[in-house]
Amino acid sequence: MLRFRVAVIAMALTLFAGAEARAGKCEAESFVLSAGNAFFAAARSGSAQAFSSAASRYADLRNIALVALGQHRKKLPKAREAEYVQLAQAYMGRFMAGHSARMSGSNLEIVDCAVSGKALVVKAKSSTGKSLAFRVSKGSGGYRVQDVSVSSFWLASQLRGKFVRVINSGGGDIDALFAFLRSGKVPGKG
């Protein structure tokens, strides 16, 4: 009987917490608004460097880059991790600059905030009606963006698809990805 009561209380607290988040009491709201405005400013400039800078300030670049390796993560030598993350960051900047038209807008409004695993998914709309979603997690240094969705495509999934294809095309060699990232190719153009 005690287990049943504890379970009911836990469910009620979970439902209440979720309703509270959706009702506009999103603890990550100010962080997401700041991050969104930084990405909008980068989109207005159309600069890969502006996107890279915004990502550096708000995103967990190391985690995003490592997740993008997919099943090839174990092939990245620890001694080359910092170099890889830096190259991946530059690629992310080029990728986002290449899709900057999808990120046009300003004045984000939070429309939903829900717990998803160990992260919060914060959905927002811009003044131009663009929908964005931010997957954020909180660490000792505050919130960090783990992924962002613009026009229904998630950045980390796009990166993982591309990086895994490059490695697979190179016979499973991680150096193929390093060569690709160093090439400075514009995403979608080769």
Strand 119-125's sheet: what is its strand order? 109-116, 119-125, 131-139, 142-150, 153-154
Q: For 125-170, what is each residue's pLDDT tens digit? A: 988 888 889 999 998 889 999 999 987 789 999 999 999 999 999 9
pLDDT at 71: 96
Cα separation of 136 and 115, whole Å? 10
What are residue 116's DSSP bridge partners?
A: 119
- Higher pLDDT, residue 11 or 61: 61
Give per-residue pLDDT as tens, 68-86. 999 999 999 999 999 999 9
Nearest-angstrom CA–CA distance, 147 and 26: 17
Q: Is 29 left (phi over 0), alpha (psi -120 to 50) or beta?
A: alpha
| Pairwise CA distance, residues 170 & 75, whole Å | 13
Q: In the structure, what pLDDT confidence band is assigned to residue 188 with cuts at 50, 70 and 90?
A: low
Give percent of the chain above pLDDT 90: 61
- Tell me the per-residue pLDDT of 42-67, one tens digit each, with 9 for 90 and over: 988 989 999 999 999 999 999 999 99
pLDDT score, position 190: 45
Judge whether residue 113 has pLDDT over 80.
yes
Whether this model's pTM surpasses 0.85: no
b/e sequence 74-111, b meaning 16+ C-beta within 10 Å: eebeeeeeeebbebbbbbbbbbbbbbbeebebeebebe
For residue 185, what pLDDT is reported?
80
Which pLDDT band, with edges at 50, 70 and 90, does 12 fall under? very low
What three-state secondary structure class fits 129? coil
Could you tell me whether strands 131-139 and 153-154 are parallel, antiparallel, or unpaired per DSSP bridges? unpaired
**Annotated domain spans of the chain:** 2-183
Mean local confidence (pLDDT), 24-53: 90
Fold classification of 2-183 is: Nuclear Transport Factor 2; Chain: A, (3.10.450)
